[in-house]
Structure 1
């Protein structure tokens, strides 16, 4: 339940990473689109904060709604990216990396909150399923 950019397997960087975000850190899009791209990254970063705040508050409905909005923003970003690619200038690259780091950090924090809760729900459902099987097998009194 996290806002991760497609193709990213984990929000956590590998140990001893050197802050190199690979092709995402330098490759971007037509200069005319860079302003729109940066606004979308800012919106995604803001949405990831909403998701994190929702997860911290245990507001799962709000988290899901924010995740949906984040997904829409990511699809919009992908559509613009497909148009044309070029290099970012130094200021844009720095800003871009900052957004990516924030999104990844928020995603990791959201996972830290949601994964234990998902395990609790899984255990609850397993127990309920076992109870139902026993009831079906032996009948309820």
Structure 2
């Protein structure tokens, strides 16, 4: 099945929304799994975008999609910050440098 570029943006948005749901339930393994899926989609999008372009209408839709992805990402980061702090404390107790 041939996917147009907008399909990739929509798939990344869907994955980012699923990541947000997983982060809200503190299912960090699922967040990481979905992050990996996003990375694959982004790589595919980069490859396809070398040979295809978006129409003006699709570019506007891409902008709306990207804004929603960025909002979800910001929310995920806010939810992850306490978890990341806990991880840092864990490593400090284990005497494992993070840097």
Partner of 2:4: 36
For residues 21 and 92 of structure 2, the distance between their equivalents in structure 1, rounded to whole angstroms, comes to 29
Aligned residues: 95
Runs of 4+ residues over 4 Å off in structure 1? none
Long gaps (5+) in structure 2: none
Deviation per residue, 1:12-34 (Å, 9 max, x gap): xxxxxxxxxxxxxxxxxxxxx9x
Q: What is the DSSP-based 3-state SS (H/G/I as helix, E as strand, rest coil) of the residue aligned with 2:94?
A: helix
Q: Does 1:123 align with 2:95?
A: no
Q: Aligned match of 2:35 in 67, 70, 81? A: 67
2:74 paired with 1:108? yes
CA RMSD of aligned residues (A): 1.9
Deviations 1:28-60 (A, max 9, x none): xxxxx9x61000000000000011111111111
For structure 1, which runs of at least 5 residues remain unmatched after alignment?
A: 1-32, 131-141
Q: CA deviation at 1:82?
A: 1.7
Counterpart CA distance in 1 for 2:61 and 2:54 is 13
How far the C-alpha of 1:92 sits from its partner, in A, is 1.3
In terms of fraction of residues, the more strand-rich structure is: 1
Separation (CA, whole Å) in 2 of partners of 1:87 and 1:58: 36
> Relative to total residues, which structure has the larger helix share, 1 or 2?
2
Larger radius of gyration: 1
Q: Pairwise mapping of residues 1-141 of structure 1 onto structure 2 (< 5 A)?
A: 36-84=4-52, 86=53, 88-89=55-56, 91-129=57-95
